[in-house]
Amino acid sequence: MVLLEWLNTGSMTTARYRHTASVLKNGKVLVTGGMYNSEYLNSTELYDPSTGNWTSAGNLNSGRQSHTESVLTNGTVLVAGGFNGTNLLNSAELYDPSTETWTATSSMNYGRVGHTASILKNGTVLVTGGRSGNFAGTTELYDPSTGTWTQTNSMNFGRRDHTASILANGHVLVTGGLGNSGFLNSAEFYDPTTGSWTPVGSMNSGRQSHTASVLTNGKVLVTGGLFNGNIVNSAELYDPTTGNWTSAGNMNSGRQLHTATVLANEKVLVIGNSNNAELYDPSTGNWTTTDSMNFVRSDHTASILMNGNVLVAGGLELGAVLNSSELYQSSQIIG
């Protein structure tokens, strides 16, 4: 049988939430920024799956939270935007794993927090929305070959705390978030070949701070979030072939500021807002509970490692900032 369980692994050197994490091409996990109580962190650190230990990866040029972190095709990592307690940041910087150094790159055209960043098939990075003095509909592209930002067409709706997903055809699907009219159920896609945005069917529920996961069948699973002050347990599926949304049932728990990770077995692991965990099975459309985490977490990160395990790091546990991390692993047991 397959035994699914959570195992504690090494703790981060700094407790943090509202940070970001990405898996580097060497298999290590880079965590950047975030908050510790009221401190806006510029520290970064690396997790080595071969040892289970965390080590410093140097300091960002600016402390930031609710920023984005993207692994570029050349292996460097782009960190952009966020908030430092005083300003909405337009600054961006690059981490080079080969030299373990941070360098500034050109700044975005707008300061942003609660935005998204997506690696397009041509290697450029599309940044969308966020809060930029108002709810931003602006979008821009970062070209790693020149280190410059250029504006592209704006979305139909300004939004923050939304999601952006790369579809199989290279389009970028943006869903929900908070906008001038409140909690948004609208969705639209960006076509990199034309630079244009096209509205698609609306979700069944408005939602902010939700998740969106591209399944192996090409559909997009959206889960949870916040709507009119209520934490949502509903889930829905977007079908790119029809542009329509259908219900994907209800999770066992309402969740916001949570994570959803597509596993090697094609199921989706959803965690956050509590220590319980659950799985969505696209083949059946069913939700089932799985083993609970060792800690209650929200505003954490979840990264799928090269061996298929999921590393969960930091976050908030009932108001306390965590430095702990744990692994969701699948190990083969004979018998």
Q: Which domain holds residue 300?
A: 1-14+257-335
288 lies in some domain = yes
Position 335 scores a pLDDT of 31
Position 136 scores a pLDDT of 87
198 lies in some domain = no
Helix, strand, coil abundance in the chain, percent, nearest 5: 0, 50, 50
Counting the structural domains of the chain, the total is: 1
DSSP output for 245-293: EEEEEE-SS--SS-EEEE-TTS-EEEE-SBS-EEEEETTTTEEEEEPPP
276 lies in some domain = yes
Residues 310 and 301 sit within 8 Å (Cβ to Cβ): no
27 lies in some domain = no
268 lies in some domain = yes
Q: What is the pTM of this model?
A: 0.96
Q: Which residues contact 29 (CB under 8 A, 6 or more apart)?
A: 21, 22, 23, 46, 47, 49, 303, 305, 311, 313
114 lies in some domain = no
309 lies in some domain = yes
Per-residue pLDDT of the chain (335 residues; tens, 9 = 90+): 455 589 999 999 999 999 999 999 999 999 999 999 999 999 999 999 999 999 999 999 999 999 999 999 999 999 999 999 999 999 999 999 999 999 999 999 999 999 999 999 999 999 999 998 789 899 999 999 999 999 999 999 999 999 999 999 999 999 999 999 999 999 999 999 999 999 999 999 999 999 999 999 999 999 999 999 999 999 999 999 999 999 999 999 999 999 999 999 999 999 999 999 999 999 999 999 999 999 999 999 999 999 999 999 999 999 999 999 999 996 533 33
For the four alpha carbons of 57, 60, 61 and 62, in that order, the dihedral sign comes to: negative
8 lies in some domain = yes
Which amino acid makes up residue 56? Answer: S
Q: Which residues contact 334 (CB under 8 A, 6 or more apart)?
A: none
Position 1 scores a pLDDT of 46
